[in-house]
A and B are shown apart, each in its own frame.
Chain A
């Protein structure tokens, strides 16, 4: 149990990779509960790493230890070559944090809030540009309390990036966004990544992880049980493909490791075009659910 976090499902960062975050053997208990139970995690400089996991799996505790909010019981943690348990102002100026729901800043306008927080940093982004980038240009004089849930979230993001962070923590940033706003947000993340920002993204939306993340780490029962590029996570690229086709009124489906051969055989048997042909690989969500399920069975 204790050594499984370095098992075959977890792809470690390549040797010599420039790491923004390095975690080894992280533990944290709350009373009898082992919230974090041996997390190993690397975030490579410049990448977007999505951290997935069910509620209560240890995501928040892990990220809040990395952000310097919570203490750890044991383990080695390095965030931008610094131990977050001993946070300094200089270190804090290099990271940006977008926390889950907050209800503050209700009496200040968007512009006042962003301007105020920009003042905390040694070389902040231009306030107008940040407000524009998060899509709040039309709301710059609106008070925080009068913003919609999604707009509020954008303000949180604005305050997280105004200091020009090297490493950005995003904790479920798109909760409450409509699909269009989510897509705009994805553009913003791509822009930040393009500028070289390293991003650790916690999300419940697997589609979001698939679209944005260079690598995905799945955390369950306090440890990282899988970490890889989205297309290979949990052996996704090697798992069985499902081939679906129709013959007359009957829909057939078969699972195979060789979908190309299967389709070619079908094509020659049915004489050319295969009616209703579809080939599916498991989605990231399928893989995720099976990973979480496996882990729960292991434990019981």
Chain B
């Protein structure tokens, strides 16, 4: 009995990081080849921007010459974070739990960390591609003014922090839908409601106060606000509820969501379908 283990001792297993890279590339292939995920998570924000931009894009913010298109692009990029991370993962993971993806990889020597590395890589690449597309469309059709100087720095940290927070929230939320089929019906309304209440489609300071209070509990409101500081000139702070973009508070809320999402993911994430462990 003891002799048989000897052969396995010297085996060198592929590491989590190199397999994580492989997972990223396989995730990207699957993401963009699956029409549903490509349209739903990737192209939808672009479509929405074209529609809203065409209808309201020419309107001005107060008496300024800031166009609503500029305001709206900030919201759509913030939404892009939510689409590519939270909506993407909160729907894809339950589907993968149902179709046997998670069970299959669980039966291999792949370190479980590599799976999450793959998901995070997918989210970041999809987001970068989506933002690039949004900016190109904005620049071509709605005279989008690009950020300058320190605004790029805000753009960077807000994007990264937002992606981390919403990715972890999406991984944690993946345990909520009972099955993969039902996941879009639970996840998409959440994303839509948050967009309406967080100042993506409408000017935030003109929303009812209860709506503002509601959305302030969630990351999208703060992410949108930070993105407005990136895409709008400093004087647009006058159109914020407090008269300021409150960047420190934005960062703090996103960080809190990241920590909460991490804890919830570690505690509640499940590889198996219910009742199959």
Contacts and interface: CB of A to CB of B under 8 A. Distances in A.
Contact of B14 (A19, A30, A104, A120): A120
A69 B272 contact: yes
Contacts of A121: 14, 108-109
A163 interface: yes
B96 interface: yes
A59 B30 CA distance: 33
8 contacts: A30-B275, A81-B1, A89-B13, A97-B104, A102-B100, A119-B14, A122-B109, A123-B11
A104 B22 contact: no
A186 interface: no
Nearest to A22: B1
A107 B108 contact: no
A272 interface: no
Nearest to B114: A120
A244 interface: no
Interface stretch (B2-10, B131-139, B205-213): B2-10
A160 to B, nearest CB: 9
Interface residues of B, number: 33
Interface in A96-124: 97, 99, 101-105, 107-108, 112, 116-117, 119-123
A10 B182 CA distance: 47
Contact of A107 (B1, B29, B107): B29
B174 to A, nearest CB: 16
B109 A120 contact: yes
A69 B103 contact: yes
Nearest to A80: B4
Interface of B: 1-2, 4-5, 8, 11-14, 19, 22, 26, 29-30, 33-34, 96, 98-101, 103-104, 106-111, 272, 275-277
Given A107-B30, A107-B34, A119-B22, A90 B109 contact: yes
Contacts of A103: 98-100
**A-B pairs with lowest CB-CB distance, top 3:** A102-B100, A103-B99, A107-B33
Contact of A93 (B13, B26, B34): B13
B83 to A, nearest CB: 19
A104 B8 contact: no
Which of B13, B107, B276 has most A Cβ within 10 Å?
B107
B2 A81 contact: yes
Which secondary structure dominates chain A's binding surface? loop
A94 interface: yes
Contact of A122 (B1, B13, B26, B101): B13
A88 B101 CA distance: 19
A45 B104 contact: no
A101 B103 CA distance: 11
A222 B29 CA distance: 43
Nearest to B96: A104
Contacts of A30: 275
Given A45-B4, A71-B277, A90-B109, A159 B104 contact: yes
Contacts of B26: 108, 112, 116
A77 B5 CA distance: 16
A278 B104 CA distance: 49
A99 B100 contact: yes
Contact of B100 (A71, A101, A108): A101
B104 A104 contact: yes
A120 B108 contact: yes
A67 interface: yes
A92 interface: yes
B2 A97 contact: no
Contacts of B106: 69
B5 A69 contact: no
A112 B29 contact: yes
Contacts of B103: 69, 99, 102
A67 B98 CA distance: 19
A81 B8 CA distance: 11
Contact of B19 (A71, A90, A120): A120
A18 interface: yes
A90 B266 CA distance: 24
